Structure 1
Amino acid sequence: MIHPFKTLAALGLAAVLGLAAPLAATAGSPEEGWAGVQAAGKLRCGAAVFPPYVMRDPVTGEYSGFFADLCREFGEEVLNVPVEFVDTTWDNIVAGLQAGKWDLSLALNRTPTRALAIAFSDPAVPYEITLLYNKDNPKIPAGAKSLADLDKEDVTIAVVSGTAMDKSISPLVKTAKIVRLPSSDEARLAVMSRRADVLADPSDTNRLFIAANKDWAVDLAPEPAIAKQGIGFGLNAGFPAKDIDALNIFIEEKVATGHVEALVEKSVQEVLAEGQ
């Protein structure tokens, strides 16, 4: 599979809901819940690329990544319908869900602001923002422990526009310049090329990047922590609570049995293999 990191050289609900109608041209309203999804004959998953959570082969259009895998498994194993992935961006992933363009948004940080606008599943994985930089960058002070230690006038912080990282770190930065880029590739490339000094990204994706750039890349888990949250699925605010419970039970089982951990490891290895 061709992967975004490669450009960097870096790296039985059907029985309960029953009576599913024949394949429909349009999806039901959110208030219909999974019954509406089954009547439509497909589960639509809004997907914005962010390895290893969500990945898309630019040649075949095929989706992978552990959140894409989870969405596919929920559709096929629980709802007994195929999954359709809908391309979106991080700037539009909440608005598209609200507008009914898809049924689930993949890999969303469970933030209070978002929770006022949409509903969330239980988290499938934990989350925390760390700050990645070049260990030889003279702008980064030795012994830095906090975001404040990096929040200097001559420091540029790269972040993917519209993401939880953007929304979490932007209010905290008082002096440094923030450069918002449209993709994770471009944000990482900005640090590699030294157009930016720091990359604000999830801890697990930063660890991936460091594994592929051990000669220069390090990261800081700041104290106090930034955006220590869970990552789950987003749903329209009108979605029935009992149906969200069905998704939560699915997630709970997949986490408890170690299946989610195995999917994460598979996705990580896929990213690292494409970077070799």
Structure 2
Amino acid sequence: MVRLAHLTRRAFLCLAVASAVVAGAPAHADDASAWQGVRKAGVLRCGAAVAPPYVMRDPKTGEYSGFFADLCRNFAQNVLKVKVEFVDTSWDNIVAGLQSDKWDLSMALNDTPEREKAVSFSAPATDYNVSFVYNKNNPKIPKGAHTIAEIDKPGVTVAVMSGTAQDKAISAVIRQAQIMRLPGNDETRLALMSKRADLLADANITNMLLTEAHPEWAATLQPTPPLAQQEVAFGIRKDTPAADIAMLNKYVGEQVKSGAVDRLIKSSVQAMLVANK
């Protein structure tokens, strides 16, 4: 099961970011050597691939929310003093779009050795690992399961968002079960809820949303040892000047230390739970 106490604690840390950013943004914008292109354009472009509660998008209004969206918005408005623009993308293109200058920052990007070859990373806003949600009445999943070996069996299907860090993580350890790769979070959840998939592999915080929204049937397998323990940060282009990276890192670090990120996470989780009722 997800360690709710730990996740809630992490959530509180992330949640603090929004409040702290708005209330006391650092005056880095006076440094004329940093983020000059963004200031000249008057807009910070944030690459947005949906993964609740990190990045969320209202299908009716197109408005973005989630704690990484709040971080990007507040960095633009309160630090760089520019507008923010969220650019729709997918997890398959989140790195390539950044490299080709389609946006200035990629949000909620897992810092992996593979990605470090292509882009740079800010200081981490939170951490990440992969968990699995399943229907507690599913006879294929042993009660009390806590290892990959207990679910990696023929006849078991694991749904995952294609191109994500969790896709890469389970692809490295799943040998016998079938991996069902789908384009988005809605599709993977639907596959689990319709019983086309036996498990859903996703980020620990994201899966917490699902289990808390559906406690009557949803349970979580948190692998031991943790699967794909990583840091989650902003992705930035390799050619970004050191002064620009330092400014972004100072901003992120202040938000984590102040508790703003935790508050943002908690707020995003609560918003998701309300929306799913």
Task: Give the TM-score of the pair, scaled to structure 1.
Answer: 0.89
- Which amino acid is the alignment partner of residue 167 of structure 2? D
Partner of residue 30, structure 2: 15
Partner of residue 138, structure 1: 139
- Name the SS for the 1:206 alignment partner: helix
Q: In the TM superposition, what whole-angstrom CA distance separates every residue of 1:5-45 from its partner, at most 9, and x where no partner exists?
A: xxxxxxx2332117xxxxxxxxxxxxxx6111111111000
Distance across 2 between alignment mates of 1:143 and 1:259? 35
- Name the SS for the 2:31 alignment partner: helix
Q: In the TM superposition, what whole-angstrom CA distance separates every residue of 1:203-247 from its partner, at most 9, and x where no partner exists?
A: 111111011111111111101211111111000111112211111
Partner of residue 103, structure 1: 104
- Which amino acid is the alignment partner of residue 202 of structure 1? A
Task: Give the TM-score of the pair, scaled to structure 2.
Answer: 0.88
Distance across 2 between alignment mates of 1:242 and 1:228? 29
- Which amino acid is the alignment partner of residue 69 of structure 2? A
Offset of residue 168 of structure 1:
1.2
Structure showing greater relative contact order (alpha-carbon pairs closer than 8 Å, 6 or more residues apart): 2
Partner of residue 258, structure 1: 259
Distance across 1 between alignment mates of 2:217 and 2:167? 24
Task: Report how many aligned residue pairs link the two structures.
Answer: 251
Percent pairwise identity: 56
Offset of residue 114 of structure 1:
0.4
Distance across 1 between alignment mates of 2:120 and 2:257? 23
Deviates further, 169-178 or 52-61: 52-61
Distance across 2 between alignment mates of 1:171 and 1:206? 20
Offset of residue 112 of structure 1:
0.8
- Tell me how large the CA RMSD over aligned residues is: 1.1
Partner of residue 157, structure 2: 156
Q: In the TM superposition, what whole-angstrom CA distance separates every residue of 1:256-275 from its partner, at most 9, and x where no partner exists?
A: 11111111111111111111
Distance across 2 between alignment mates of 1:141 and 1:71? 41
Offset of residue 142 of structure 1:
2.9
Partner of residue 13, structure 2: none
Distance across 1 between alignment mates of 2:241 and 2:75? 17
- Name the SS for the 1:172 alignment partner: coil
Return 5+ residue gaps in structure 2 as ranges: 1-26
Deviates further, 142-151 or 221-230: 142-151
Where does structure 1 differ by over 4 angstroms across 4 or more consecutive aligned residues?
A: none
Distance across 2 between alignment mates of 1:61 and 1:131? 29
Distance across 1 between alignment mates of 2:76 and 2:189? 33
